[in-house]
């Protein structure tokens, strides 16, 4: 059923006033229409006695998101909105019904709405704090606009309102799209795709040089053909620096002083040539032959970096633990006893206290026992050898006669060979 369009002449209030006041009424004041470029909405309130329209502006009512882009308006529609429209002919944009003279009117970009009709096109709820987003002729609250149209950042998984970076098969906030190696923002610098990573130009050049055995200077970003100079964790051309003390141009043999007793903070974390560095009295590591800037380990008549003072056998650093010296070499406890000490034949542990030596082997006193019956043996116990293992007299006598005869002959031959 079609709803008839009403005008001011059809309202009951107008008819009653015409009956009691035969004089002709004043013509209605045209409703204020906002400029087409103004995206801030207005409320229009009409007071009947004066027949005027009061427009109340509220801040930031019609905010349009950068993404998706707003529908462009034609010049013809903009010109039409600038024309005045009598209140009696005005209708709601949504329900197409007219307005009562005392009724509140929402004016948004030249379109008039009932307050109850000016709602989100998705959830049909009023816009929180008057903020809405317009897309393809529909108005949405911020939440529904984000869910329906706003892209999701690949890094932080948050909705993106505003500028969007489209790269690496995803969408990113400008602050979230960074180099995977150095963390530099790439939004305005550009990037290079390396595998599944986005890299800045400097990091990409550094990776390309890794396969060639050459390095890139951290200062001029040029290729280092010769030996690089390492300073504060980065690689440089040596000619970019001069000695802190004498001012001479440095080469790759320059030394960085990080910490040293008796020197101020200004003199530290600087580069020195070899001559000036040697005058500072900094100890040199006995393993890598480089200066020791931090903790020093003194052993075997030399100075060592903590991580370079290691066992001569297993090469594990001692890190402050006890070491054993033998012929100018340092050994850990296990390797020292394995090479020069006593290792129990049964438990393979180091025998530090009393040791039983027999059959060219070392034994813990409680592990020295008959290999057949496990009866403990002492230094005074009589035992026989069988397969280089001790056998008590009781077990030996239980062996077959022929086996005992062969063992006896084998023992006599070994004794005779030792005498020769």
The answer on 22 and 105 residing in a single domain is yes
The answer on 123 and 86 residing in a single domain is yes
With residue 418 as reference, give the H or E element that holds it: helix 401-419
DSSP for 245-293 reads: TT-PBP-TT-EEE---TT--TTTSSEEE-HHHHHHTT--BBTTT--B--
The CA–CA distances, whole Å, from 59 to 39, 40, 121, 294, 297 equal 10, 7, 22, 62, 71
Cα separation, 280 vs 170, whole angstroms: 56
Give the model's pLDDT for residue 211: 60
The answer on 176 and 136 residing in a single domain is no
Structural domain contains residue 303? no
DSSP-derived secondary structure letter, 303 = E
Write out the two tokens for 155: 């890094």
Structural domain contains residue 157? no
Write out the two tokens for 220: 């001029």
Structural domain contains residue 90? yes
Identify the residue whose tokens are 């990573």: 197
Question: How many domains does the chain fold into?
Answer: 4
DSSP for 339-387 reads: HTS-BBTTT--B--S--EEETTEEE-TTT-B-TTT--B--TT--EEEET
What is the domain-level CATH number for residue 30? 2.10.110.10
Write out the two tokens for 159: 């909705």
The answer on 238 and 190 residing in a single domain is no
Of the residues 148, 175, 195, which one is the last residue of a structural domain?
148
| Low-confidence residues in the chain, pLDDT < 50 | 1-8, 13, 17, 20-84
Structural domain contains residue 1? no
The answer on 142 and 12 residing in a single domain is yes
- Residue 201 domain boundaries: 165-210
The answer on 82 and 40 residing in a single domain is yes
Structural domain contains residue 381? yes
Rg value, the chain, Cα: 47
Give the model's pLDDT for residue 127: 87
The CA–CA distances, whole Å, from 393 to 364, 366, 404, 408 equal 21, 18, 11, 13
The answer on 42 and 119 residing in a single domain is yes
- Side-chain half-sphere exposure of 204, counting CA atoms within 13 A: 15
Q: Strand (E) positions, 119-272?
A: 133-135, 138-140, 165-167, 170-172, 192-194, 197-199, 215-216, 223-224, 229-231, 234-236, 255-257, 270-272
Cα separation, 291 vs 117, whole angstroms: 80
The answer on 144 and 252 residing in a single domain is no
Structural domain contains residue 311? no
pLDDT in tens, 106-115: 888 778 888 8
Structural domain contains residue 318? no
Q: Find the length of the chain.
A: 420
Cα separation, 136 vs 296, whole angstroms: 72
Cα separation, 37 vs 70, whole angstroms: 12
DSSP for 24-73 reads: PPPPPPPPP---TT----EEEEEETTTTEEEEEE-TT-B---SSSPPPPP
Structural domain contains residue 335? no
The answer on 260 and 178 residing in a single domain is no
Contact (CB, 8 A) for 233 and 215: no
The answer on 377 and 250 residing in a single domain is no
The answer on 137 and 80 residing in a single domain is yes
Among 196, 205, 134, 198, which residue's Cα sits nearest to residue 165?
Answer: 198
Contact (CB, 8 A) for 269 and 256: yes
Contact (CB, 8 A) for 176 and 154: yes
Of the residues 106, 121, 148, which one is the last residue of a structural domain?
148
The pTM assigned to this predicted structure is: 0.30
The answer on 143 and 18 residing in a single domain is yes
Give the model's pLDDT for residue 18: 53
Identify the residue whose tokens are 């200004």: 266
């Amino acid at each position: 059923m079609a709803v008839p369009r009403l005008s001011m002449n059809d309202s009951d209030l107008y008819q009653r006033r015409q009956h009691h006041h035969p004089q002709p009424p004043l013509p209605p004041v045209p409703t204020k229409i906002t400029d087409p470029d103004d995206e801030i909405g207005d409320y229009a309130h009409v007071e009947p006695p004066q027949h005027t329209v009061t427009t109340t502006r509220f801040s930031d009512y019609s905010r349009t998101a950068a993404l998706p882009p707003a529908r462009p308006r034609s010049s013809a529609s903009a010109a039409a909105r600038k024309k005045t429209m009598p209140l009696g002919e005005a209708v709601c944009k949504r329900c197409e019904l007219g307005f009562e003279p005392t009724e509140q009117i929402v004016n948004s970009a030249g379109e008039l709405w009932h307050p109850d009709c000016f709602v989100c096109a998705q959830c049909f709820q009023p816009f929180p704090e008057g903020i809405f987003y317009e897309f393809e002729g529909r108005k949405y609250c911020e939440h529904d606009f984000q869910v329906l149209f706003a892209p999701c950042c690949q890094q932080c998984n948050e909705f993106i309102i505003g500028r969007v970076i489209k790269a690496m098969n995803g969408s990113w906030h400008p602050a979230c799209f960074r180099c995977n190696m150095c963390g530099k923002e790439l939004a305005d610098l550009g990037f290079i795709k390396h595998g599944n990573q986005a890299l800045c130009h400097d990091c990409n050049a550094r990776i390309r040089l890794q396969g060639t055995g050459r390095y890139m200077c951290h200062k001029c970003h040029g290729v280092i053909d010769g030996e690089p100079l390492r300073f504060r964790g980065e690689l440089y051309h040596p000619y970019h620096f001069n000695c802190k003390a004498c001012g001479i141009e440095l080469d790759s043999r320059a030394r960085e002083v990080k910490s040293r007793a008796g020197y101020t903070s200004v003199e530290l974390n600087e580069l020195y040539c070899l001559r000036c560095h040697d005058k500072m009295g900094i100890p040199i590591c006995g393993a890598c032959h480089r200066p020791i800037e931090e903790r020093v380990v003194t052993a075997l008549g030399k100075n060592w970096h903590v991580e370079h003072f290691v066992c001569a056998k297993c090469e594990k650093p001692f890190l402050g633990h006890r070491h054993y010296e033998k012929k100018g070499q340092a050994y850990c406890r296990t390797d020292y006893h394995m090479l020069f000490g006593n290792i129990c034949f049964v438990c393979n542990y180091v025998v530090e206290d009393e040791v039983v030596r027999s059959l060219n082997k070392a034994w813990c006193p409680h592990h020295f026992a008959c290999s057949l019956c496990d009866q403990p043996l002492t230094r005074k116990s009589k035992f026989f050898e069988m397969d280089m293992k001790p056998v008590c007299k009781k077990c030996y006598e239980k062996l077959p006669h022929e086996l005992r005869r062969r063992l006896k002959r084998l023992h006599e031959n070994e004794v005779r060979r030792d005498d020769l």
